[in-house]
Amino acid sequence: MAPVAQTDSSSSEYYQLVNSIKPDYITISEYIFLRIYQLGIRSVFGVPGDFNLNFLEHLYDVEGLDWVGCCNELNSAYACDGYTKTCDKMSVMVTTYGVGELSALAGVAGMYSEYSPMLHIVGTSALSMKNSNKRMHHLLSGSNTYGSPDHFVYEETATKYSCVQGSIRDDAMEACDTVDHVIREIHRHLRPGYLFLPCDLTEMRVPVSRLDEPLGSEYEPQNFVKAGTVVDTILQRVYASQNMAVLVDYFTGRCKMTGALGVLLDKLAGKTNVFDTFMGKGIVSEDVSGYVGTYQAGMDNEQLAGVLEDADLVLHLGAFDVEMNSGLFTSKLATERVISMNIDSVVVCGEIYTDLNMRDVFEQLVARLEGERVAASKKYAVEPYLRSSGANALNLVDLSNKLESTLTADDVLIVDTGSFMFGMGTLKLHGARFVNQCLWAAIGFAIPATLGACIAKREMGSNGRVITVEGDGAAEMTLQELASLVRYGLDPVVYILNNDGYTIERVIKGPYRSYNDIATNWNWTQMVTCFGGEKPGTRISNRQDLAQLQYQRGLHLVELIVPKFDVPQSLSNMVIRSKSKS
Amino acid sequence: MAPVAQTDSSSSEYYQLVNSIKPDYITISEYIFLRIYQLGIRSVFGVPGDFNLNFLEHLYDVEGLDWVGCCNELNSAYACDGYTKTCDKMSVMVTTYGVGELSALAGVAGMYSEYSPMLHIVGTSALSMKNSNKRMHHLLSGSNTYGSPDHFVYEETATKYSCVQGSIRDDAMEACDTVDHVIREIHRHLRPGYLFLPCDLTEMRVPVSRLDEPLGSEYEPQNFVKAGTVVDTILQRVYASQNMAVLVDYFTGRCKMTGALGVLLDKLAGKTNVFDTFMGKGIVSEDVSGYVGTYQAGMDNEQLAGVLEDADLVLHLGAFDVEMNSGLFTSKLATERVISMNIDSVVVCGEIYTDLNMRDVFEQLVARLEGERVAASKKYAVEPYLRSSGANALNLVDLSNKLESTLTADDVLIVDTGSFMFGMGTLKLHGARFVNQCLWAAIGFAIPATLGACIAKREMGSNGRVITVEGDGAAEMTLQELASLVRYGLDPVVYILNNDGYTIERVIKGPYRSYNDIATNWNWTQMVTCFGGEKPGTRISNRQDLAQLQYQRGLHLVELIVPKFDVPQSLSNMVIRSKSKS
The pLDDT tens digits for B41-89 are 999 999 999 899 999 999 999 999 999 999 999 999 999 999 999 999 9
Contact present, B164 and B152 (Cβ < 8 Å): no
Contact B106 A109 (CB under 8 A): no
Contact B523 A529 (CB under 8 A): yes
Tell me whether residue A499 is annotated as binding.
yes
Q: Provide the residue type at A125 as one letter.
A: S
pLDDT score recorded for residue A13: 53
Q: Are strands B346-348 and B351-353 parallel, antiparallel or unpaired?
A: antiparallel
pLDDT score recorded for residue B252: 97
Q: Is the minimum CB–CB distance between A82 and chain B shorter than 8 Å?
A: no
Q: Helix crossing, A358-368 with A224-240: angle to 10°?
A: 50
Q: Is the dihedral of CA B174, B176, B182, B188 positive or negative?
A: negative
Buried-state track B391-423, b at ≥16 Cβ within 10 A, e below 16: eeebbbbbbbbbbeebbeeebbbbbbbbbbbbb
The nearest CA of chain B is from the CA of A16 a distance in Å of 30
pLDDT score recorded for residue A578: 63
pLDDT score recorded for residue B511: 76
Residue B543 has pLDDT above 80, yes or no: yes
Q: Which of A:272-291 have CB within 8 Å of B?
A: none
Spell out where B510-564 has E strands: 538-540, 556-561
Nearest CA-CA partner of B145 in A466, A213, A292, A345: A345
- What are the pLDDT digits (tens) for A521-561? 889 999 999 999 989 999 999 999 999 999 999 999 999 99
Q: How far is CA B235 from the centre of its chain?
A: 32
Q: How far is CA B17 from CA B5, B43, B58, B211, B256, in A?
A: 8, 22, 19, 12, 31
Q: HSE (CB half, 13 Å, CA atoms) of A573?
A: 15
Give the residue from B60, B65, B138, B512 with the most A CB atoms within 10 Å of its CB, the best one to mutate.
B138
Q: Is the minimum CB–CB distance between A421 and chain B shorter than 8 Å?
A: no
pLDDT tens over chain A, length 582 residues: 333 333 344 445 544 555 555 579 999 999 999 999 999 999 999 999 989 999 999 999 999 999 999 999 999 999 999 999 999 999 999 999 999 999 999 999 999 999 999 999 999 999 999 888 888 899 999 899 999 899 999 999 999 999 999 999 999 999 999 999 999 999 999 999 999 999 999 999 999 999 999 998 889 888 999 999 999 999 999 999 999 999 999 999 999 999 999 999 999 998 999 999 999 999 999 999 999 999 988 777 888 888 999 999 999 999 998 888 887 777 888 899 999 999 999 999 999 999 999 999 999 999 999 999 999 998 888 887 777 777 778 889 999 999 999 999 999 999 999 889 888 888 999 999 999 999 999 999 999 999 999 999 999 999 999 999 999 999 999 999 999 999 999 999 999 999 877 776 777 777 777 777 777 688 999 999 999 998 999 999 999 999 999 999 999 999 999 887 777 776 777 666 666 554
Task: Give SS3 for B517.
Answer: coil
pLDDT score recorded for residue B303: 86
CA distance B561 to B539: 8
Task: Give SS3 for A549.
Answer: coil
pLDDT score recorded for residue B329: 75
Residue B2: band (very low, low, confident or very high) from pLDDT cuts 50, 70, 90: very low
Task: Give SS3 for B416.
Answer: coil
CA distance A8 to B150: 43
DSSP letter assigned to residue B53: H
Nearest CA in chain A to B70: A518
From B102, B439, B532, residue closest to A519, measured CB to CB: B532
Contact A115 B141 (CB under 8 A): yes
Spell out where B118-220 has E strands: 118-124, 164-167, 193-198, 205-207
Domain A224-373 annotated CATH 3.40.930.10:
no
Contact present, B101 and B158 (Cβ < 8 Å): yes
Give the residue from A63, A102, A190 with the most B CB atoms within 10 Å of its CB, the best one to mutate.
A102
Q: Is the ipTM of this complex over 0.95?
A: no
Q: Provide the residue type at A528 as one letter.
A: V
The nearest CA of chain B is from the CA of A381 a distance in Å of 33
In percent, the amount of chain B with pLDDT more than 90 equals 74
Task: Give me the DSSP letters along B275-307.
Answer: EE-TTTTTSS-TTSTTEEEE--GGGS-HHHHHH
Q: Which positions in chain B touch A139 (Cβ < 8 Å)?
A: 113
Judged by phi (left if over 0) then psi (alpha if -120 to 50, else beta), residue B281 lies in beta
Nearest CA in chain A to B502: A48
The nearest CA of chain B is from the CA of A574 a distance in Å of 13
CA distance B434 to B414: 6
The nearest CA of chain B is from the CA of A138 a distance in Å of 5
CA distance A466 to B451: 35
CA distance B343 to B254: 8
pLDDT score recorded for residue A257: 96
Same fold, B12-212 and B224-373: yes
Nearest CA in chain B to A479: B480
3-state SS of A473-484?
Answer: HHHHHCHHHHHH
Q: HSE (CB half, 13 Å, CA atoms) of A378?
A: 14
Residue B21: band (very low, low, confident or very high) from pLDDT cuts 50, 70, 90: low
Fold of A396-581: Rossmann fold (3.40.50)
Residue B430: band (very low, low, confident or very high) from pLDDT cuts 50, 70, 90: very high
Q: Is the minimum CB–CB distance between A180 and chain B shorter than 8 Å?
A: no
Give the residue from A135, A157, A496 with the most B CB atoms within 10 Å of its CB, the best one to mutate.
A135
* Domain spans of chain B, in order of start: 12-212, 224-373, 396-581
Nearest CA-CA partner of B427 in B448, B407, B400, B460: B400
Class at the top of the CATH hierarchy for domain B12-212: alpha beta
Lowest mean pLDDT among A444-448, B21-25, B138-142, B397-401: B21-25
Q: Helix crossing, A446-460 with A73-87: angle to 10°?
A: 50
User: Bridge partners of B471?
Assistant: B497
Backbone phi and psi for residue A349, each to the nearest 5 degrees, phi listed first:
50, 50
Contact present, A41 and A3 (Cβ < 8 Å): no
From A109, A354, A441, residue closest to B102, measured CB to CB: A109
Torsion angle in degrees (nearest 10) through CA of B473, A522, B99, B518: -20
The nearest CA of chain A is from the CA of B484 a distance in Å of 6
C-alpha R_g of chain A: 25
Q: How far is CA A451 from the centre of its chain?
A: 13
Q: Is the minimum CB–CB distance between A532 and chain B shorter than 8 Å?
A: yes
Specify burial of residue A539 (Cβ count, 10 A radius: 0-12, 13-18, 19+). Answer: middle
Contact A145 B49 (CB under 8 A): no
C-alpha R_g of chain B: 25
From B50, B110, B515, residue closest to A48, measured CB to CB: B515
Buried-state track B83-113, b at ≥16 Cβ within 10 A, e below 16: bbbbbbbbbbbbbbbbbbbbbbbbbbbbbbb
Contact A477 B72 (CB under 8 A): yes
Q: Is the minimum CB–CB distance between B381 and chain A shorter than 8 Å?
A: no
pLDDT score recorded for residue B384: 77
- What are the pLDDT digits (tens) for B510-523? 777 777 777 768 89
Taking residues B356-379, what's their average pLDDT?
95
Residue B15 has pLDDT above 60, yes or no: no
From A105, A145, A484, residue closest to B102, measured CB to CB: A105
Q: Which of A:472-501 have CB within 8 Å of B?
A: 476-480, 483-484, 486-487
Q: Is the minimum CB–CB distance between B335 and chain A shorter than 8 Å?
A: no
CA distance A22 to A2: 9
- What are the pLDDT digits (tens) for B213-240? 999 888 988 899 999 999 999 999 999 9
Contact present, B89 and B41 (Cβ < 8 Å): yes
Contact B112 A146 (CB under 8 A): no
Residues 6+ apart with CB under 8 A from A430: A285, A286, A287, A404, A407, A408, A409
Contact A439 B502 (CB under 8 A): no
pTM, two decimals, is 0.94
pLDDT score recorded for residue A582: 44
pLDDT score recorded for residue B577: 66
- What are the pLDDT digits (tens) for B81-126? 999 999 999 999 999 999 999 999 999 999 999 999 999 999 999 9
Taking residues B442-460, what's their average pLDDT?
97
From A140, A444, A505, residue closest to B72, measured CB to CB: A444
CA distance B352 to B77: 34
Contact A137 B57 (CB under 8 A): no
Count of H helices and E strands in chain B? 21, 21
pLDDT score recorded for residue B435: 97
Give the residue from B139, B321, B344, B480 with the most A CB atoms within 10 Å of its CB, the best one to mutate.
B480
Q: Is the minimum CB–CB distance between A250 and chain B shorter than 8 Å?
A: no
Backbone phi and psi for residue B174, each to the nearest 5 degrees, phi listed first:
-60, -40
In chain B, the largest separation of any two C-alpha atoms, in whole Å, equals 76
Tell me whether residue B499 is annotated as binding.
yes
For the beta carbon of residue A460, count every other beta carbon within 10 angstroms.
14
CA distance A26 to A203: 8
